[in-house]
Amino acid sequence: MNYGHFDDKKREYVIDRPDTPLPWINYLGCEAYFGIISNTAGGYSFYRDARLRRLTRYRYNHVPFDFGGRYIYLRDNSTGKFWSPSWQPTQHDAEEYSCRHGMGYSIIGSTFNKIKAETLYFVPLGENLEIWQLSVTNLSKKARYLSVFSSIEFCLWDAQDDSTNFQRNFSTGEVEVDDGVIYHKTEYRERRDHFAYFACSEKLAGYDTQRDVFLGAYRSWNKPSAVERGRSFNSMAHGWAPIGSHHVKLNLKAGETRIVTFVLGYHENPKDKKFDPPDSQIINKRTVQPVIKKYLNPITVQAAFDSLRSYWEKILDLYQVQTPDKHTNRMVNIWNAYQCMATFNMSRSASFYESGIGRGLGFRDSNQDLLGFVHMVPDRARERILDLASTQLETGGAYHQYQPLTKRGNNDIGGDFNDDPLWLIIGVAAYLKETGDWSILDAPVPYDNKSGSEMPLYEHLERSLKYTLDRLGPHKLPLIGRADWNDCLNLNCFSDTPGQSFQTTTNKDGKVAESVFIAGMFVLAAHELADIAERRGLNTNAAGYRRAAEKMDSTVHTHGWDGEWFLRAYDDFGKKIGSKECEEGKIFIEPQGFCILAGIGLEDGLAKKALDSVNKILATSHGIMLQQPAYSKYYLNLGEISSYPPGYKENAGIFCHNNPWIIIAEAMMGNGDRAFDYYLRINPSAREKIGKLHRCEPYVYAQMIAGRDAPTHGEAKNSWLTGTAAWNYFAVTQFILGVRPTYKGLMVAPAIPTKWDGFSVSRIFQGVCYNISVKREGKGNKVRLMVDGLAVEGNIIPKPPSGVTQVAVQVLLN
């Protein structure tokens, strides 16, 4: 069942009924000011840090869900009827409703009693503010006398404190209202030099800033007193809950349209110019007034919206594909790329599932996200890499997370997730292949942010590799530490105390439990670093890394192979995990994917066997499950993985994040049909038709789809902020379509379905636009390359002489 449709031309998803199974959200902002917005205008805004600089309130896990937002009310002053054009919070049955989620903007509106109202929400580039541009049209044959009310509920900045510390917060709230602009200035009198403002383009009939006055006692946002009676109270907040609401009267002739613009923004003043006059407690507004004035002008708004559209067009143009499959086209060309940018901007901080007060930036997560966005924002990727590497410890280990505002490692969680350091090598390698910017390796980077400890980035990579070699277990496989990629396989935790953190509790000394996943990852990372070393002329180092890789490869053959698939791990007793000998959890997806990505078993048939086992045991029509059989009870020696009911999350859920590892492995084996089949099973657009079961947005990936053991098999959860975005993008663009940056140039190595007769890609790589057209001649994947009309050996397009910006590439597949 569909709740809307894709408008690929406009790069929008159009939702045509408000009661989606879950709020279907979008993101506003791409630099410093951000917001989430649902299809019924729910959501909130923040400046840089969703926890520490929260502008507006949102109520997570509220009933009804998705509560708190950018709500507008309309009131027909002749009948007293009022409604909200975004459906929430009044939930009126509209004659027509639509929400268009686009690249960095949303347009939400409806028609009710012949009044059509639509609001465009977006954040202009380079500004710390959001625009709500409301347009109201009178579709009836007579004049209509309307009132418009805006509403926003201010958060007292620290979102965590805001929702817990009521004994203080009910007394701190302060606002000013000046020239129709509502200023939220809680704590401005003391150490804050920032405030929020909410402005309106029209002459006000009134305003409100105190929530309880605006709503009335015991009322909710669906029936505010002020709206019901058709007149604001001009209330001033003193403590309690400051809000912003403007009241504007609109008299519309038959057929007339009027635009009303609201601007909600964040502003910082220089510390010594906070007050005006200086000896008062009144906000100095001279610094912000020009910005407000600028954006209350519809011409500026239109220009800002146009620049936002070109910004996205430019980013998306870097990789555009035409294949016979529309789901592939729209995910690659629009939504998957867009989601990768959301994970870059948000990491795992703010979504419908991430409350904005939880995690910092994950070390592992951020390195992986890079695979998806490095070509879109290479400069910012460079900065991200250097930030991440600066939190690395001298041992080569890494803090599991860091806080974006301070850029410091997070002490509450600490380190010892033994896969973490290796992700840095994989991230840096992706950056180098994409940009050719070798200078990054010489950038001086501190350890643990300590000044004086700076070493070239290259040295950080060496320590990452060494970190694994310094920590080998009884079988000479890497020790797992607190966990590897699977945060929930906690082999040294042994927790029997409710509420203890599986991530940080360590009750075993960690000298026994080993990870075959890290072994695979090590082989991959060691070869990547060897490639890098060779290019820097460090041939002896490179040879050393290759030897270490080969040794680990052979250790995996001896101690990491179970007969039909790769083992997952050894536990603290030295017993196998992910083996036919186990009662539950006999086979796991991760080592099958990562060992093959590293090239282990490609030649001797192990890879093929492992992939056939995945196909037989783990694959379902909704995607590939993480392991089987699911754990039916809690295992002290396994930790969080067995804490989830069977079929959910890491306990045999379909983790969309690691399905692409299998897709890549299949592509590496030349199985385009299977690779593509797996790809389509979790492709959100392809799942649109089962929207009622899938429930999450059909335009972005979710972290998980419930596995076969779950009563809700096929239901997705935790959309948007997941490594799934980057990995699927990486798998489809670089392995199925096969257009892959390498040190020598752009490689074309497609593994597409046999029934495709070809496809074309335009890819901008290091400033050159490659127009690649692939034609199938036979059923295989052998590539014959013609570059600008000339045959070229192999499958790598040589870099053209400088000055050339367009290259035509013909590929024949046999």
Catalytically annotated residues: 487
Smallest gap from residue 395 Cβ to ligand GLC (A):
21
Query: Nearer Cβ to ligand GLC, position 174 or 487?
Result: 487
Instruction: Give the whole-angstrom CA distance, residue 224 versus residue 275.
Output: 34
Could you say whether residue 640 binds ligand GLC (CB under 6 A)?
yes
373 burial via Cβ count (<10 Å: 0-12, 13-18, 19+): buried
Residue with tokens 């999350």: 649
Q: In the set 194, 246, 364, 546, which binds ligand GLC (CB under 6 A)?
A: 364
Residue type for 120, please? L
Smallest gap from residue 594 Cβ to ligand GLC (A):
12
Could you say whether residue 688 binds ligand GLC (CB under 6 A)?
no
Torsion of CA 428, 726, 589, 675, to 10 degrees: -110
Instruction: Give the whole-angstrom CA distance, residue 482 versus residue 504.
Output: 7
Q: How many CB atoms lie within 10 A of CB 273?
A: 12
CA atoms within 13 A on the CB side of 161: 13
Q: In the set 12, 176, 487, 709, which binds ligand GLC (CB under 6 A)?
A: 487
Q: In the set 118, 176, 325, 365, which binds ligand GLC (CB under 6 A)?
A: 365
Query: Nearer Cβ to ligand GLC, position 90 or 722?
Result: 722
Smallest gap from residue 649 Cβ to ligand GLC (A):
5
- Range 234-253, binding ligand GLC (CB under 6 A): none
Of 357-365, 378-386, 528-536, 801-809, the segment contacting ligand GLC by CB under 6 A is 357-365
Smallest gap from residue 504 Cβ to ligand GLC (A):
10
Smallest gap from residue 348 Cβ to ligand GLC (A):
6
Residue type for 526, please? A
Of 5-13, 337-345, 382-390, 484-492, the segment contacting ligand GLC by CB under 6 A is 484-492
Of 481-489, 539-547, 569-577, 593-601, the segment contacting ligand GLC by CB under 6 A is 481-489
Query: Nearer Cβ to ligand GLC, position 43 or 360?
Result: 360
Smallest gap from residue 410 Cβ to ligand GLC (A):
11
Stated as kind and residue range, the H or E segment containing 762 is strand 758-765
**In the beta sheet, which residues pair with residue 259?**
135
Q: How many CB atoms lie within 10 A of CB 716?
A: 29
Stated as kind and residue range, the H or E segment containing 309 is helix 298-316
Smallest gap from residue 134 Cβ to ligand GLC (A):
38
Query: Nearer Cβ to ligand GLC, position 348 or 546?
Result: 348
Torsion of CA 221, 222, 224, 229, to 10 degrees: 170
Query: Nearer Cβ to ligand GLC, position 242 or 409?
Result: 409
32 CB contacts (<8 Å, ≥6 apart)? 47, 48, 128
Query: Nearer Cβ to ligand GLC, position 158 or 365?
Result: 365
Smallest gap from residue 495 Cβ to ligand GLC (A):
13
Instruction: Give the whole-angstrom CA distance, residue 758 versus residue 776.
Output: 5
Q: In the set 392, 486, 495, 685, which binds ligand GLC (CB under 6 A)?
A: 486
Query: Nearer Cβ to ligand GLC, position 90 or 658?
Result: 658
CA atoms within 13 A on the CB side of 15: 30
Could you say whether residue 722 binds ligand GLC (CB under 6 A)?
yes
Q: Per-residue x/- mask for ligand GLC, residues 114 to 153, rule CB under 6 A?
A: ----------------------------------------
Smallest gap from residue 595 Cβ to ligand GLC (A):
17
Could you say whether residue 485 binds ligand GLC (CB under 6 A)?
yes
Stated as kind and residue range, the H or E segment containing 179 is none
Instruction: Give the whole-angstrom CA distance, residue 396 versus residue 717.
Output: 34
Could you say whether residue 747 binds ligand GLC (CB under 6 A)?
no
Terminal Cα distance for the chain, rounded:
40
- Range 641-670, binding ligand GLC (CB under 6 A): 649-650, 657
Cβ atoms of 736 and 679 closer than 8 Å: yes
697 CB contacts (<8 Å, ≥6 apart)? 13, 22, 24, 25, 684, 719, 720
Could you say whether residue 367 binds ligand GLC (CB under 6 A)?
no
Smallest gap from residue 475 Cβ to ligand GLC (A):
23
CA angle 558, 559, 564 (to 5 degrees): 85
Question: Residue with CB nearest ligand GLC?
Answer: 487
Going by C-alpha positions, the residue among 85, 104, 122 that lies closest to residue 12 is: 104
Q: In the set 23, 230, 244, 362, which binds ligand GLC (CB under 6 A)?
A: 362
> SS3 string of 510-530?
CCCCEEHHHHHHHHHHHHHHH
Could you say whether residue 717 binds ligand GLC (CB under 6 A)?
no
Smallest gap from residue 133 Cβ to ligand GLC (A):
36
Query: Nearer Cβ to ligand GLC, position 71 or 701?
Result: 701
Residue type for 655, please? F
CA dist 551 → 343, 413, 547, 568 (Å): 36, 32, 6, 18
283 CB contacts (<8 Å, ≥6 apart)? 176, 183, 185, 188, 195, 269, 274, 275, 276
Stated as kind and residue range, the H or E segment containing 207 is strand 206-210
Number of residues that bind ligand GLC (CB under 6 A): 16
Q: In the set 703, 728, 734, 781, which binds ligand GLC (CB under 6 A)?
A: 703
Instruction: Give the whole-angstrom CA distance, residue 315 versus residue 640.
Output: 39
- Range 495-514, binding ligand GLC (CB under 6 A): 503
Query: Nearer Cβ to ligand GLC, position 3 or 661?
Result: 661
Query: Nearer Cβ to ligand GLC, position 655 or 765?
Result: 655
Query: Nearer Cβ to ligand GLC, position 177 or 357?
Result: 357
* Bond preceding residue 753 cis, omega within 30 of 0: no
Of 59-67, 170-178, 486-494, 756-764, the segment contacting ligand GLC by CB under 6 A is 486-494
Q: In the set 488, 548, 710, 748, which binds ligand GLC (CB under 6 A)?
A: 488
Smallest gap from residue 466 Cβ to ligand GLC (A):
23
Of 40-48, 361-369, 460-468, 757-765, the segment contacting ligand GLC by CB under 6 A is 361-369
The DSSP 8-state label assigned to residue 108 in this structure reads E
Backbone angles phi and psi of 101, in degrees to 5: -90, 120
Instruction: Give the whole-angstrom CA distance, residue 491 versus residue 504.
Output: 12
Q: How many CB atoms lie within 10 A of CB 96?
A: 10
Query: Nearer Cβ to ligand GLC, position 499 or 537?
Result: 499
Query: Residue 220: helix, strand or coil by DSSP?
Result: coil
Positions in the binding site for ligand GLC (CB under 6 A): 348, 362, 364-365, 485-488, 503, 640, 649-650, 657, 703, 722-723
